[in-house]
Structure 1
Amino acid sequence: MVAYDSLGATYARTRRPDPRIAVQIHAALGDATDVINVGAGTGSYEPPQTALAIEPSRVMIDQRPPGSAPAVRAVAEQLPLRDNAADAAMALLTVHHWADLATGIGELRRVARRRIVVLTWDQRVFRERFWLVRDYLPEAAAFDDTRATPTDQLADLLGGARQEPVRVPHDCVDGFGAAYWRRPSAYLDPQVRAGISMLAQLGDDAVEHGLARLAEDLATGRWHTRHAELLTLDTIDVGYRLFVADQ
Structure 2
Amino acid sequence: MPGTQLYDSIGATYTATRRTEPRIAAQFWAALGDADTVLNIGAGTGSYEPPDRAVTAVEPSALMRAQRAAGAPPAVAATAGSLPFADQSFDAAMAFATIHHWPDPIAGLREMRRVARRVVVFTHETTDAGWLHRFWLTRDYLPEIGAYRVGRPSLTELASAIGARTEPVPVPWDCVDGFFEAYWRRPEAYLDEGVRRGTSVWTTVGPEAEQRAVRELRADLDSGRWADRNRDLLTLDAAELGLRLLIA
Place the TM-score, normalised by the shorter chain, in its bin: over 0.9
TM-score if structure 1 supplies the norm length?
Answer: 0.94
Per the alignment, residue 61 of structure 1 pairs with: 65
Question: Which residue number in structure 2 is paired with residue 136 of structure 1?
Answer: 141
| Alpha-carbon distance in 1 for matches of 2:151, 2:247 | 21
Hey, what does 2:11 align to over in structure 1? 8
* Distance in 2, Cα, partners of 1:90 & 1:151: 16
Distance verdict in 2 for CA 1:171–1:148, change over 3 Å? farther
Aligned equivalents of 2:151, 2:90: Cα separation in 1: 29
Percent identity of equivalent pairs: 53
Q: What amino acid maps onto 2:67 in structure 1?
A: Q
- 2:167–2:246 CA contact under 8 A, matched in 1: yes
Which amino acid in 1 is paired with 2:93? A
Amino acid at match of 2:32: L
Q: Cα distance, 1:148 vs. partner?
A: 5.3
Q: Quick check: 1:122–1:149 contact (8 Å CA) kept in 2? A: no
In structure 2, C-alpha distance between the alignment counterparts of 1:95 and 1:110, rounded to whole Å: 16
Alpha-carbon contact 1:96-1:147 (below 8 Å) kept: no
- 2:163 paired with 1:170: no
SS at 1:40 equivalent: coil
State the SS of the aligned residue for 2:12. coil
Listed as ranges, the gaps of 5+ residues in structure 1 are none
Are 1:120 and 2:123 an aligned pair? yes
- Pairwise mapping of residues 7-86 of structure 1 onto structure 2 (< 5 A)? 7-48=10-51, 49-86=53-90
Match of 1:223 among 223, 226, 238: 226
Give the count of matched residue pairs.
242
Report the CA distance between 1:60 and its aligned residue.
Answer: 0.6
Give the equivalent residue in structure 2 for 1:234.
237
Structure-2 separation of matches of 1:109 and 1:28: 15
- Measured in 2, the distance between the counterparts of 1:143 and 1:70 equals 35
Q: Deviations 1:107-150 (Å, cap 9, x if unpaired)?
A: 101110x21001100011111210001001111x2243237541
Which secondary structure state, in structure 2, belongs to the residue aligned with residue 182 of structure 1?
A: coil
Q: CA RMSD in A?
A: 1.3
Of 189, 193, 218 in structure 1, the residue corresponding to residue 192 of structure 2 is 189
Task: Quote the offset at 1:202 in angstroms.
Answer: 2.6
Structure 1 residue 200 displacement after superposition: 2.4
8 Å Cα contact 2:168-2:240 kept in structure 1 = yes
Matched, 1:92 2:96: yes
